[in-house]
Amino acid sequence: MDLALSPQDEAFRDEVRAFLAENLPARLREGMAASPGVFVEPDIGQEWQAILNKKGWLAYQWPKAVGGTGWTPVQRYIFEKECALAGAPTLTALSLKLLAPVVYTFGTAEQKARILPRILTGEDYWCQGFSEPDSGSDLASLKTRAVRDGDRYIVNGSKIWTTHAHHANKIFCLVRTDPNGPKQSGISFLLIDMKQPGVTVRPILTLAGDHEVNQVFLDNAVAPVSDRIGDEGDGWMIAKFLLENERGGSCHAPRLLADLEAIERAAREEPDGDGGALGDKAAWRRRLAKIRLEALSLEMLELRILADLAKGRPPGPQTSLTKYLASTIRQDVDLLWMDLYGDAGLQLEAARPLYGRNAPPPPHSRDAQIAGPRYLNSRAWTIFGGTNEVQAGIIAKTVLEL
Ligand SMILES: Cc1cc2nc3c(=O)[nH]c(=O)nc-3n(C[C@H](O)[C@H](O)[C@H](O)COP(=O)(O)OP(=O)(O)OC[C@H]3O[C@@H](n4cnc5c(N)ncnc54)[C@H](O)[C@@H]3O)c2cc1C
């Protein structure tokens, strides 16, 4: 399905295409293609973000008043689609898409002026400290305690599954400022400097051997009161706002559809063991078509959410639907990559990174080399940002009113 573009939108698409052709270095495109993790590493991602920032296109999702581009929903979608087709690195969602909307919506003028520009320049690299060893789906039960001491908080507790905490210099946290009363009302949203003696980061390796997530320990870590967003006790309301953005603030369909195109191309070259090409097999084509139809339905849903956002309407529980669908389709697509390469896709290369001068040579092809790690890492899609079971519960309750 092609979106019927107006002449202005076609001109915009051509402008984006020309920009990508001229400004996306092959090195970054290759790095992205050889990244099996869910998040792109900062050596690839931050360089691309600097290029976009110079052009004024990095904060394209933010309102114009705080540095956004003022693009229409269709333009925004065109941009994401062209970036996906060109194989551009994904952007750091934690700073740009999760923290920034919280800051420009709930932050003071001083916080906006201080925090947002440093996200754009990459001077601050943020991670998200929500989950704890005993609080994941039931996030409101979190125990990390922040006790007020004059104009600062002293924070003790532990956060887990913290993506890229080992790269970050800052962490935005949900902390308990009031242990009494209903559990939701005692939570606050606090920004904490990672580069202080009270913060320790311990790596957790994924099934595929990638280092993306960590456990973070806060032992008498200090945060100034001026780094609290909103009032004490506003943390749960802000977290719900942020989680809606986490679940629905990104467009997933463009990358899924770009992957499906790449799989289709590769399958035409891959032998089926009977003297033909895998891509010509009816069963394979049916499977590909089914997944593509699902990705196209997701595309429609994402466009609808973008249109709502442009009208100032919060996307609400629709984002649980997109999170659920995007995660499930992502796993189906990554299984297709694996099945495409058969045995070659099962060989797990332990060395990292799989790009750059010292990358191990692929035994079959680069796509086959990362098929296995990518498949294993993408198990996480139906867990992070709220599991699929939890999303199904939200849909059942708020949409279907069951
Ligand atoms: C790769 C990865 C990256 C992550 N990055 C971050 C990050 O950067 N920052 C951060 O704060 N967190 C992060 N997380 C944590 C993530 O948000 C949690 O893992 C997730 O919310 C689930 O919590 P849990 O792991 O404690 O599982 P649990 O909540 O213990 O769930 C265990 C099982 O019970 C099911 N379950 C729980 N409650 C219900 C219910 N009400 N109805 C039906 N089923 C239910 C779940 O679906 C799951 O199958 C990340 C996780 C992963 C895997």
CA atoms within 13 A on the CB side of 242: 26
Instruction: Using the Cα atoms of residue 184, residue 190, residue 195 and residue 197 in order, give the sign of their dihedral.
Output: negative
Q: Which atom of ligand 1 is nearest to the CA of 386?
A: 21
Question: Could you give the CA distance from residue 165 to residue 135 in angstroms, rounded to a whole number?
Answer: 18
Q: What distance lies between CA 32 and its chain's CA centroid?
A: 14
Look at ligand 1, atom 44, and give the residue with the nearest C-alpha. 389
Average pLDDT over every residue of 231-245: 93
Tell me the pLDDT band of 249, cut-offs 50, 70 and 90.
low
Q: How far is the CA of 216 from the centre of ligand 1 (A)?
A: 16
Q: How far is the CA of 258 from the centre of ligand 1 (A)?
A: 28
Q: Does the pLDDT of residue 389 top 90, yes or no?
A: yes
- The H or E element containing residue 229 is strand 228-229
Choosing from 246, 270, 299, 349, the catalytic residue is 246
Look at ligand 1, atom 27, and give the residue with the nearest C-alpha. 136
Look at ligand 1, atom 29, and give the residue with the nearest C-alpha. 137
Q: How far is the CA of 248 from the centre of ligand 1 (A)?
A: 17
Q: How far is the CA of 143 from the centre of ligand 1 (A)?
A: 16
Q: What is the pLDDT of residue 348?
A: 87
Tell me, yes or no, if 41 is annotated catalytic: no
Instruction: Name which of 343, 264, 236, 250 is nearest 302 in CA terms.
Output: 250
Look at ligand 1, atom 53, and give the residue with the nearest C-alpha. 380
Conformation bin of residue 26: beta by default, left when phi > 0, alpha when psi is -120 to 50: alpha
Q: Does the pLDDT of residue 13 top 70, yes or no?
A: yes
**Alpha-carbon torsion angle 364, 370, 372, 376, nearest 10:** 180
The pLDDT tens digits of the residues spanning 93-150 come to: 899 999 999 999 999 999 999 999 999 999 999 999 999 999 999 999 999 999 999 9
Question: Could you give the CA distance from residue 222 to residue 153 in angstroms, rounded to a whole number?
Answer: 6
178: DSSP letter: -
The pLDDT tens digits of the residues spanning 264-307 come to: 999 999 998 889 999 999 999 999 999 999 999 999 999 888 88
Question: Could you give the CA distance from residue 309 to residue 6 in angstroms, rounded to a whole number?
Answer: 21
Which residue do the tokens 């750059």 mark?
A: 356
Q: How far is the CA of 137 from the centre of ligand 1 (A)?
A: 5
Q: Which atom of ligand 1 is nearest to the CA of 165?
A: 8
Residue 257 CB partners (closer than 8 Å, separation 6+): 81, 84, 292, 295, 296, 299
The pLDDT tens digits of the residues spanning 329-348 come to: 999 999 999 999 988 888 88
- The H or E element containing residue 217 is strand 211-224
Q: What distance lies between CA 213 and its chain's CA centroid?
A: 13
Residue 265 CB partners (closer than 8 Å, separation 6+): none
Q: Which of 383, 398, 402 is the pocket-test mutation for ligand 1 (most atoms within 8 Å of CB)?
A: 383
Instruction: Name which of 197, 203, 204 is nearest 218 in CA terms.
Output: 197
Residue 295 CB partners (closer than 8 Å, separation 6+): 253, 256, 257, 260, 329, 333
Beta bridge partners of 213: 204
Q: How far is the CA of 85 from the centre of ligand 1 (A)?
A: 31
Average pLDDT over every residue of 1-22: 88
Q: Which atom of ligand 1 is nearest to the CA of 130?
A: 11
Q: Which of 98, 130, 137 is the pocket-test mutation for ligand 1 (most atoms within 8 Å of CB)?
A: 137
Instruction: Name which of 106, 87, 103 is nearest 24 in CA terms.
Output: 87
Which residue do the tokens 């499906």 mark?
A: 260
Taken in order of first residue, the domains within the chain and their CATH numbers are 7-91 (no CATH), 124-233 (2.40.110.10), 251-399 (1.20.140.10)
Q: Does the pLDDT of residue 395 top 90, yes or no?
A: yes
The pLDDT tens digits of the residues spanning 134-188 come to: 999 999 999 999 999 999 999 999 999 999 999 999 999 999 999 998 999 999 9
Q: Which of 205, 243, 387, 398 is the pocket-test mutation for ligand 1 (most atoms within 8 Å of CB)?
A: 387
Average pLDDT over every residue of 226-237: 98
Q: What is the pLDDT of residue 1?
A: 45
Q: How far is the CA of 273 from the centre of ligand 1 (A)?
A: 41
Residues in contact with ligand 1 (CB, 6 Å cut-off): 38, 127-131, 136-137, 161-163, 213, 380, 383-387, 389-390, 393
357 C-beta neighbours (distance < 10 Å), count: 4
Q: Which atom of ligand 1 is nearest to the CA of 213?
A: 3
Terminal Cα-to-Cα distance of the chain (whole angstroms) = 34
Question: Could you give the CA distance from residue 216 to residue 202 in angstroms, rounded to a whole number?
Answer: 6
Residue 178 CB partners (closer than 8 Å, separation 6+): 185, 186, 232, 233
Tell me the pLDDT band of 244, cut-offs 50, 70 and 90.
confident
8 Å CB contact between 34 and 366 = yes
C-alpha triplet 322, 327, 333: angle, nearest 5°: 120
- Among 31-35, 289-293, 308-312, the minimum mean pLDDT is found in 308-312
pTM of the model: 0.95
